[in-house]
Amino acid sequence: MTAPLAATCEEEWATAPESPPRAPFAQRLVTLTQQEHVQLKWDAAYWRTRHQGAIKRLAQREHEFQTEQARRDQRAAETEAILKARMETLEARIRDLCQRLFGAKSEKTGHSERQQKDHSGQPARPRGQQPGRPGHGRSRLDHLPVVPEIIDLTETEKRCPSCFLPLIPFVGTQDCEVVEIEVQAYRRRIQRKRYRPACHCEVLPGIVTAVAPSCLIPKGKIGLSVWVEALLDKFLSGRPTHRLLQAWAHHGLNLSQGTLIGGFQTWAPLLLPVVSAITDQQRHDPHWHADETGWRVFEPLEGKAGHRWYLWVFQSASAVVMTLDPHRAATVPEAHFQGLTTGIVICDRYSAYKKLARTMGFLLAFCWAHVRRDFLTLARGYPEQEAWAMAWVARIGTLYTLNNQRLAATEDSVAFGKREITLHTHLQRMVDDRDAALQDPLAHPAVVKVLTSLRRHWSGLVVFVDHPEIPLDNNIAERALRGPVVGRKNYYGSGSRWAGEFAASMFTVLMTLQLWQINPRRWFTEYGQACAENGRSAPTDLSSFLPWTMTPERYAAWREPAAQQATHDTS
């Protein structure tokens, strides 16, 4: 019933005279008045309209319910797809982490036959000494001092067991050599001679005593050799201080850990001028390797949560610089390269290095080893994509081979040009395969993610083409961090800020000395003696302690024995 009709019926019903009392139903069928006929007709029309409206509303509600149900089903399907993709990603990460934790500690997997072959398709040569090939022989140890030890026969052995006549000595001896190491702690008792003047000139004091040797710590009982051993054992060998003290205790030398820590505090300011000179030298090089790793410093810092700091490494052809900073921000490399506007930085794809290109104009050369790692992670995490990912790993291996062949022909311009064309062709094929895979609508999301990153960083990955002096990867910086990482795992970082900064200074000096193949024990002994003679402060002239300014004779004398031996064998 429409609204006007309902209003009219209600109005007529209100003005109609009151009906007589209702009779039984059978009687009422006979005695219905005209007014009651109209009333029943109006009621039937009203309830019929209400019924039709209810049916329409029911149909509308069913339609809305079906629409909402379809919308919920769609949202559930989308959520299920997202959760399924998330589950695949997490399962892939679990497989990758399980491989890192329990698998082989190498990126060479060797799960299939194609990984057992080199890039030419031939079976890979086994590692180690090859059968039938001449060996290098025993290592030559002629530089070690000789301590003669004479072994003679007993008195009984010097006579014939039959006639008991004595044996006649024979000319010469039958010699053999055995290498030994003797570690012994001893007290160095310094006895200074004293003299009394025989004249009466009164120019000299009553007793003239020889001058005492210089020492780093006033009235200290620890000699320079002990400090050098402690420094090298902790920062070069990565052994915790308490273990070194335990080893010394076995030799009868009992020292407290606080004594060594106090000595390290004395050494800390002495190395700062050397670190500054190494940093200045590195700024003159045309390109640098950069990387960073975590380092814990257990000293609260205002505004910083936790104890995770970062150890940054910058290595060039002549120097290695390590910097400790509480943050992993772009301000650290910007401060290190402050004032420079040109140069090439070999690094990974971390955003802090990308800011160097935007703000300072540096050219970034990205690391192919990280790209290769992406494909290996994809192969481990998604077994169905292993064949495709390992094919890309083989392409990257071929890229290394072609670049090495190009560098081997730098002196022959014709051969260099031909091999460079081959390298460009291989790179173009990689670009074509990458773009074709990205255009595939059925490509796996993990595949799209890896290839998208490859396309975004492609300009930095091919810097080595125009700059042959630039390597394809950043392994040099990662190898420089290997020693500090071993130390971090053994003694968990540094207990205070000064200790962390001192560790960075020690790593800077040690890695630079290793880069120049200088014996660190010889260097720290000579430098500590020079600091003691200079009034327990760093020498004003550091030219005799910097590898690029010291004399050739001094450099040859301080080189590692292994490096000298290699030079001698090569010549």
| pLDDT tens per residue across span 317-354 | 999 999 999 999 999 999 999 999 899 999 999 999 99
Domain boundary among 514, 540, 563: 514
Domain boundary among the residues 37, 61, 85 is at 61
The CA distance from 569 to 571, in Å, is 5
Q: 118 near 408, Cβ under 8 Å?
A: no
Instruction: Give the pLDDT confidence score for residue 562 in this predicted structure.
Output: 55
- Is 222 part of a structural domain of the chain? no
**Does residue 537 lie within any of the structural domains?**
no
Strand partners, 314: 290, 321
Tokens representing 478 are 């990662």
In a domain, 568, yes or no: no
Contact 115, 475 (CB under 8 A): no
Tokens of 229: 């051993």
Q: Which are the contacts of 307, defined by CB distance < 8 A and separation ≥ 6?
A: 296, 297, 298, 299, 493
Residue 300 falls inside a structural domain: yes
pLDDT for 563 equals 53
Structure tokens belonging to residue 530: 């020079």
Q: Return the ∠ at Cα 411 (arms to 405 and 416), rounded to 5°.
A: 45
What is the number of structural domains in the chain? 2
Is residue 431 a part of any domain in this protein? yes
Residue 257 included in any domain: no
Query: 564 vs 143, 319, 559, CA distance in Å?
Result: 10, 21, 7
Parallel/antiparallel/unpaired status of strands 363-366 and 344-347: parallel
Q: Is residue 400 part of a domain?
A: yes
Q: Is 215 exposed, middle or buried (0-12, 13-18, 19+ CB in 10 A)?
A: middle
Q: Using one digit for the tens of pLDDT, what is the confidence trace for 458-494?
A: 999 999 999 999 999 999 999 999 999 999 999 999 9
d(CA 243, CA 84): 50
Query: pLDDT, tens digit, for every residue of 512-533?
Result: 999 999 999 999 999 999 999 9
Q: What parts of the chain have a pLDDT lower than 50?
A: 1-10, 12-13, 16-23, 25-26, 29, 111-120, 565-571
Query: Containing domain of residue 49, as a range?
Result: 1-18+26-61
Question: Is 556 a member of any domain?
Answer: no
Domain boundary among 514, 540, 564: 514
Q: How far apart are the C-alpha atoms of 25 and 42, rounded to whole Å?
A: 19
